[in-house]
Amino acid sequence: MAARAAVQNTKPSPAIGTAGLFLKANSSLVGPSEGVAIRFPERRNEHEVELAIVFGRQGSDIPRERALDYVVGYSIGLDMTARGPEDRSFRKSIDTYSVLGPWLVTADEIVDPDNVPLNISVNGEIKQNSNTKQMIYDCRKLIEWGSTFYTFYPGDVLYTGTPEGVSPVKPGDTMLARIDPVGEMRVSVRAHRAGG
């Protein structure tokens, strides 16, 4: 099984312009204190630290030049993924696999969301250390493009993407994600408990 997981991890991700955005089930959303419960320990389960955009206004077909007018604030997003053959929306929507928080900064506190440092460590070892300026699509383009397919509503959250360096986590690990000037969040990893 370990060899299969390694092969799955080497499969290149489709380009965002081809694959599009993906939706996550609301049951996957938790705060940092709840932690991540690994449901499939035999698979590779990876972390992805991301700037999370929180919408404050309803919008569809939003023009790029007005995209940030729809943003009420920003938070730290931790997008967990279980590797496997299923569609990525399915594998990213496992309960507890969308961690958000612990703070929300208002939109005016981040002048340029396309130049924000972010990093994550696992058990004290830095795994991802980058900046949102390295994203393939900047925040305005993500909002503009996403809104040609979906209507964004107040309270909707858009995870913006992650830099290189994703790595596996297992029960017992502790992740520390940081985005300036949002702050940091500590997230524990545990085993999933059936029926819980």
As a whole number, the mean pLDDT across the chain is 90
The CATH number assigned to the domain with range 20-191 reads 3.90.850.10
For the stretch 58-95, pLDDT in tens is: 999 999 999 999 999 999 999 999 999 999 899 999 99
Q: Which residue has the tokens 């700037």?
A: 51
pLDDT value at residue 12: 44
Report the candidate in 135, 129, 143 with the shortest Cα–Cα distance to residue 180.
129
Q: What mean pLDDT comes out for the span 9-19? A: 54
Give CA–CA dist 76/100, Å, rounded: 6
Calculate the CA 112 to chain-centre distance: 19
Distance CA 119, CA 176 (A): 8
Is the confidence at residue 9, as pLDDT, over 90?
A: no
pLDDT score at 16: 61
As to burial, measured by CB atoms within 10 angstroms (0-12 exposed, 13-18 middle, 19+ buried), residue 112 is exposed
Range list of β-strands (E), the chain:
29-30, 36-38, 45-46, 49-55, 71-79, 81-82, 98-106, 117-122, 125-131, 157-159, 174-179, 183-191
> Average pLDDT, stretch 23-31?
95
Would you say 10 and 83 are in contact if contact means Cβ atoms under 8 Å apart? no
Q: Give the pLDDT of residue 142.
A: 95
Phi-psi region of 161 (alpha: psi -120 to 50; beta: other; left: phi over 0): left
Alpha-helical regions (H) of 49-172 = 88-91, 139-146
Q: Residue 22 has what pLDDT?
A: 81
pLDDT band at residue 124, thresholds of 50, 70 and 90? very high
Residue 18 — pLDDT band, cuts 50, 70, 90?
Answer: low
Mean pLDDT, range 40-47, rounded to an integer: 96
- Provide the pLDDT confidence category of residue 194 given band limits of 50, 70 and 90: confident
* Cα 56 off chain centre by: 19
pLDDT(143) > 90: yes
Provide φ and ψ at 45, rounded to 5°: -115, 120
Its pTM stands at: 0.89
The yes-or-no verdict on residue 13 having pLDDT over 60 is no
